[in-house]
Amino acid sequence: MNNAVDDVVIVGGGLAGTLTALELSRRCAEASITVLTASSLDVCASMMAQGGMAVPRVDRADDAEVHVADTIAAGNGHCDVDVVRSIIGDAPRLVHVLETGGVRFDRDVHGAPSYACEGGHQCARVLRASDATGAHVMQTLHAELRRQRNVRIREHCRCMSVRVRPNHVLLSCMNVHDGDHIMLTARSVVLAMGGSGQLYAHTSNPPTAMGDALRIAEELGLPLRDLEWMQFHPTAFATSTCSGTAPLITEAIRGAGAWLRNTAGERFMPRYDARAELATRDVVVAAMREEMEREATDRVWLDCRHLDRQHLVAHFPTFIENCRALGLDPTVDLIPVRPVAHYQCGGIAASIDGSTSLARISAIGECARTGMHGSNRLASNSLLEAGVMAMRCAERLAADIAHPTMIA
């Protein structure tokens, strides 16, 4: 049992939860903050993000609006336009916050941002750190989080239920190692628990992505929206050794020119969409499924053989390392791939600052539904949304701590 009352308990240690804790700690040095993670701190979907973070290009004055248009097109018209425009408009501030915190995105020989191209984008606008962007961002932020004197990190502590009381919130948790019951008390709780990919046979999600946030929200009576819109990533490794959480192959490799082929060796995407391999994820996945069903197989093939070896080694070291671990050489071999459950576009109804219909409960990141993504998330918009929501949630919570009467 724990009788101490935290100002804020944040459930989840991905980008959304970690950045909220860091920004709140910076704004309220005397606030008591606890970050809960169901596994170790580094087990989160953000850590596994290879591609990067989509942001409007600094060298194109109109790119913010083009980015908005690409997001809405990818979401098949189901996005909230005001939300999309607001989150994309805050991208420069998020980049500044991350870089000030030590994150180093790739730059070209002239020192300008080096952007990658991914499906659904009209131009290259994805900031990246090689093909391990999430790992670099999260390792940097986690190191800073561990230095915060007013932040306590409780790893291997799974939140099982949340109960709202008139003046506080009770969290019932379980130590995943020994099953011990732990009770925490907070003035406010932030749900930043990721998605629910582990409910599917094949997923890119970490083992902790079991939909806990949705279950807790339903028990609290919070509205859930668009749960039918689970996005599948087109290219995860499809070998017998890739059971459970399947390693992804970043979409930026198709942006660099890789092709998809069926078992007959035919490059099939041009038959389905003029954008070919750079169509939006829902289009690519639908094409892959049609090819697999027609050929009665569980995979298609990614062809990188025509790409420059030095470019692959220099820009996609994670991909090269994963191939080698499977005994594959992408400059010689076709790489077996299949779609996997990847991103929960729906979730807990929340505003951009994470506020929900319950004053003491916030929801941010993948478990939240803001209307940003519609029915299909544009590639690399997830880190952008999570980061912007974290900044705004921290601002709101800091104001609540400074003026506690604001919470009923």
H or E segment to which residue 310 belongs? helix 309-315
Check: CB of residue 329 under 8 Å from CB of residue 309: no
Which residues are CB-neighbours of 350 under 8 A, at least 6 positions away? 356, 362, 363, 364, 368, 369, 370, 389
Instruction: Calculate mean pLDDT across residues 311-321.
Output: 93
Q: What is the pLDDT of residues 185-238, one digit of tens each?
A: 999 999 999 999 999 989 999 999 999 999 999 999 999 999 999 999 999 999
Beta-strand relationship, 181-191 and 115-116: unpaired
Mean pLDDT of all residues in the chain?
A: 95
Q: Please report the pLDDT score of residue 200 as a whole number.
A: 92
DSSP state of 179: -
Q: What is the pLDDT of residues 91-102, one digit of tens each?
A: 999 999 999 999
Q: What is the pLDDT of residues 276-298, one digit of tens each?
A: 999 999 999 999 999 999 999 99
Q: Reply yes or no on whether 281 is catalytic.
A: yes
Instruction: Calculate mean pLDDT across residues 302-321.
Output: 94
Q: Please report the pLDDT score of residue 299 as a whole number.
A: 95
Q: Please report the pLDDT score of residue 246 as a whole number.
A: 87
Question: Could you give the domains of the chain?
Answer: 5-229+345-406 (3.50.50.60), 231-341 (3.90.700.10)
Question: pTM, whole model, 2 decimals?
Answer: 0.94
Beta-strand relationship, 33-36 and 5-11: parallel
For residue 119, give the nearest of 219, 17, 241, 256 by alpha carbon: 256
Which listed residue (128, 154, 187, 281) is catalytic?
Answer: 281
Instruction: Calculate mean pLDDT across residues 244-263.
Output: 92
Q: What is the pLDDT of residues 151-175, one digit of tens each?
A: 999 999 999 999 999 999 999 999 9
